[in-house]
């Protein structure tokens, strides 16, 4: 049951204006740009009604109340690349173009008549794979042969047996390689997943020697790179969810995957002299076709209260001594009820209410008319 003072008329408009001014002062810092780019009303943003006695009211809701940082970033691919070098000398017959994505079973380049086929695995190839051997690298090979449809599932394991040899021959035939049943160094390239060709160092028809750099690859998983003001480093953490606004106005989700520990000082002639921290965001949706080095806006959820009771900011009434209250309509009467404001949302007009209040979901609180 609500406690407090019962009155037929809510506190005068001046009380609301004071509370709203205080709330806006709290939530206004740093959120203006966010509202310009992410125009989400949020729960409770536009749910005001009129009670039977003519008071404007809004329902108490249970929701997530969060705060965000809005920063600029660049959508592209990881700067961490791996260089592929020639296992033997020969003529470059084909090579994947820079900017393309190669998936399992695809050919990265063809050197001296032999293609280099991409397979998925945690470690680079380090030995020739032939019938009769076993090990973790053979298990990885068998898993790929199975995924590509060349090896029955029952035959997958860590041994290079007759079925593995037969599957390798089928893979070689499909990729245009010499059919030997042997996987020599340079025949396959193991990577954790699909790769993005970041740079190409050779051209078709070029003669290269063993050890020559051919192409550079990186993960095909796109990321957003952010140069975060070092003063805000403590606000952003690995695992923070983000929302990314793309150049075409659409948006996609992501998560902070890395926050550098060491700040970088800008060049002496930089227009922004503040040190920055490198932050990397991994997209949840995977690949965004056609976008590389694209400017984006990123909203990082820096803090949140889940499953919180929340009311519109305008419902708060400043009380003597620095406390706050809301007016709850019960039986046509506005009852002043003490509350403890928690986190203010910067994407809606909601404020979380601390535990211990007499509010319940669905209660109607008075808001400025």
Same domain assignment for residues 118 and 95: yes
Q: How far is residue 351's CA from residue 186's CA, in Å, rounded to a whole number?
A: 60
Q: Do 287 and 341 belong to one domain?
A: yes
Tell whether the model's pLDDT for residue 329 goes beyond 80. yes
Percentage, residues of the chain above pLDDT 90: 52
**In this model, does residue 30 exceed pLDDT 70?**
no
The domain boundary, picked from 184, 219, 254, lies at 219
User: Does 271 lie in the same domain as 258?
Assistant: yes
Residues 165 and 235 in one domain: no
Same domain? For 230 and 359 the reply is: yes
What pLDDT, on the 0 to 100 scale, is given for residue 49?
55
Comparison of pLDDT for 46 and 86, the residue scoring more? 86
pLDDT for res 148? 97
Same domain, yes or no, for 147 and 25?
Answer: no
Query: Could you list the residue range(s) of the whole structural domain that residue 107 is in?
Result: 82-219
CATH of the domain at 188: 1.10.101.10
Q: Which of these three, 175, 204, 219, is where a domain ends?
A: 219
Give the residue from 219, 240, 274 where a domain finishes: 219
Confidence of residue 22 (pLDDT cuts 50, 70, 90): very low
* Whether 229 and 366 share a structural domain: yes
Reported as a single tens digit per residue, the pLDDT across 210-220 is 999 999 999 98
> Over 80: is that where the pLDDT of 129 sits?
yes
Given the DSSP bridges, would you call strands 188-191 and 114-120 parallel, antiparallel or unpaired?
parallel
**pLDDT exceeds 50 at position 364:** yes
- Rounded to whole angstroms, what are the CA distances from 330 to 22, 57, 69, 214, 338? 27, 12, 39, 76, 15
**pLDDT at position 286, please?**
56
Threshold 0.85, pTM exceeds = no
Q: Are residues 233 and 331 in the same domain?
A: yes
CATH code, domain carrying 10: 2.40.30.170
**In the predicted model, what is the mean pLDDT of residues 305-314?**
90
Q: Are residues 59 and 154 in the same domain?
A: no
Task: Inform me whether the pLDDT recorded for 173 exceeds 90.
Answer: yes
Same domain flag for 270 and 129:
no
* pLDDT digits 0-9 by tens, 245-296: 888 888 888 999 999 988 888 777 777 778 998 999 998 865 566 678 889 9
- Mapping DSSP onto H, E and C, the string for the chain reads CCCCCEECCCCCHHHHHHHHHHHHHHHCCCCHHHHHHCCCCCCCCCCCEECCCCCEEEECEEEEEEEEEEEEEEEECCCCCEEEECCCCEEEEEECCCCCEECCCCEEEEECCEEEEEEECCCCCCCCECCCCECHHHHHHHHHHHHCCCCCHHHCCCECCHHHHHHHHHHHHHHCCCCCCCECECCEEEECCCEEEEEECCCCCCEECCCCEEEEEEECCCEEEEEEEHHHHHHCCCCCEEEEECCCCCEEEEEEEEECCCCECCCCCCCCCCCEEEEEEEECCCCCCCCCCEEEEEEEEEEEEEEEEEEEHHHCEECHHHCEEEEEEECCEEEEEEECEEEECCCCCEEEECCCCCCCCCCEEECCC
169 and 276 assigned to the same domain: no
**Number of domains composing the chain:** 2
Residues 226 and 275 in one domain: yes
């Amino acid at each position: 049951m609500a406690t407090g003072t019962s009155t037929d008329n809510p506190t005068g408009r001046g009380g609301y204006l004071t509370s709203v001014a205080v709330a806006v002062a709290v939530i206004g810092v740093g959120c203006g740009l966010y509202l310009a780019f992410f125009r989400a009303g949020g729960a409770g943003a536009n749910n005001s009604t009129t009670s039977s006695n003519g008071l404007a009211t809004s329902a108490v809701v249970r929701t997530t109340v969060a705060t965000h940082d809005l920063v600029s970033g660049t959508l592209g691919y990881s700067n961490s690349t791996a260089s592929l070098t020639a296992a033997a000398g020969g003529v470059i017959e084909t090579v994947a173009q820079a900017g393309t994505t190669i998936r399992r079973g695809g050919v990265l380049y063809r050197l001296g008549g032999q293609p280099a086929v991409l397979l998925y695995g945690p470690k680079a190839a380090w030995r020739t794979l032939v019938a009769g051997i076993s090990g973790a690298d053979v298990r990885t090979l068998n898993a790929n042969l199975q995924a590509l449809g060349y090896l029955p599932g029952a035959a997958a394991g860590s041994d290079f047996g007759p079925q593995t040899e037969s599957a390798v021959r089928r893979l070689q035939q499909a990729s245009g390689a010499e059919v030997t049943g042997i996987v020599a160094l340079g025949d396959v390239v193991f990577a954790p997943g699909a790769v993005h060709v970041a740079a190409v160092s050779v051209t078709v028809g070029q003669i290269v020697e063993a050890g020559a750099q051919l192409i550079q690859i990186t993960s095909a998983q796109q990321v957003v790179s952010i140069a975060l003001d070092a003063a805000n480093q403590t606000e952003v953490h690995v695992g923070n969810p983000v929302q990314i606004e793309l150049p075409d106005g659409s948006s996609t989700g992501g998560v902070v995957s890395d926050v550098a520990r060491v700040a970088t000082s800008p060049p002496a002639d930089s227009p922004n002299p503040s040190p920055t921290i490198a932050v990397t965001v991994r997209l949840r949706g995977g690949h965004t076709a056609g976008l590389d080095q694209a400017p984006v806006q990123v909203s990082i959820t820096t803090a949140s209260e889940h499953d919180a009771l929340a009311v519109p900011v305008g419902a708060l009434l400043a009380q003597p001594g620095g406390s706050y209250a809301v007016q709850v309509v019960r039986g046509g009467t506005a009852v002043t009820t003490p509350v403890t404001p928690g986190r203010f949302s910067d994407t809606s007009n909601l404020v979380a209410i601390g535990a211990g209040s007499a509010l319940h979901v669905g209660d109607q609180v008075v808001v400025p008319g």
